[in-house]
A = this chain, B = another copy of it.
Amino acid sequence: MPESRLLLGDCHEELRRLEDASVDLIVTSPPYADSRSTTYGGVSPDHYVEWFLPITAELLRVLKPTGTFILNIKEKVVDGERHTYVMELILAMRAQGWLWTEEFIWHKKNCYPGKWPNRFRDAWERLLQFNKQRKFHMYQEEVMVPMGDWAERRLRNLSQTDNVRDPSKVGSGFGKRVANWIGREKAYPTNVLHLATETKNRNHSAVFPDDLPIWFIKLFTRPGDWVLDPFMGSGTTPRVAVDMGRNAIGIEILPNYYALAQTAVDGALRQTAQLALLESGTPYEPTEPE
């Protein structure tokens, strides 16, 4: 059975509880810079880098040498210009010892509306990939996508099969879906992800869609690995992680979000246990890496 460890507190301090080189994947979407100081973790754009650097130092410590850090972030407009704190952060993290391996693009199909005289709607965010070494674990076959017209629609939902863990669909539906894939050519994806933002979830103001952490968890971890989100919010990352048979660590500073995350992760753990019983009649056991 997957384990989960949810911590209530400031991740500056809570991260110190974690052991060196104990995490396989970090996926997080920190509070974006905001001029307002009263909002959730509001940090001014001009002080964003100095606020975030102590945290990335801890993340560098807890990440395994073969692990990966995925950072979802986007710069705000300040005085008609894109602010430069994201670029400054990348440069500072490299000085800290991180390798800036890649930048994925999250294309937000349903971006915020609006009209301005000097700019269009912002429909993309950065997904920065950092590593400790040039060699890291990457399981590319896990995120391969089928080709052809039929696949075009599936490309939108990057991983529906793993997302849906409804036991009622296990018996017939899963086998059918697998059958659809047999005999079809598969292709590796690119570094551009097409996903819509979640609009249904009212609990958290800035949830990212389930498919985002799911995709990176499939790509960079195997069952039994440890996934960390130091700004878990309502718990999207740890919830889908345990759904996928990974162990999860989540940190949240606000008690009400922490409570939401606890409920969500507990539910996912119970579902995983039930599913294991249905499928094999034996308790769930994650696949052991050799």
Contact = CB atoms under 8 A, between A and B. Distances in A.
A230 to B, nearest CB: 23
A189 B120 contact: yes
A88 B90 CA distance: 11
A147 to B, nearest CB: 12
Interface stretch (A4-12, A18-26, A28-36, A78-86): A78-86
A134 interface: yes
A134 B107 CA distance: 26
B91 A84 contact: yes
Contacts of A88: 91
* Copies of this chain assembled into the complex: 2
A12 to B, nearest CB: 26
Nearest to A135: B118
B123 A190 contact: yes
B138 A191 contact: no
Interface string A62-85: 000000000000000001111010
A192 B192 CA distance: 11
Interface stretch (A96-104, A247-255, A268-276, A281-289): A96-104
A84 B100 contact: yes
Interface of A: 79-82, 84, 87-88, 90-91, 94, 99-103, 105, 107, 111, 115, 117-124, 134-136, 138, 140, 188-192
24 contacts: A81-B100, A82-B103, A84-B90, A84-B91, A84-B94, A84-B100, A87-B87, A87-B90, A88-B91, A101-B118, A102-B119, A105-B124, A111-B190, A115-B140, A117-B138, A118-B134, A118-B135, A119-B191, A120-B188, A120-B189, A120-B190, A123-B192, A124-B190, A124-B191
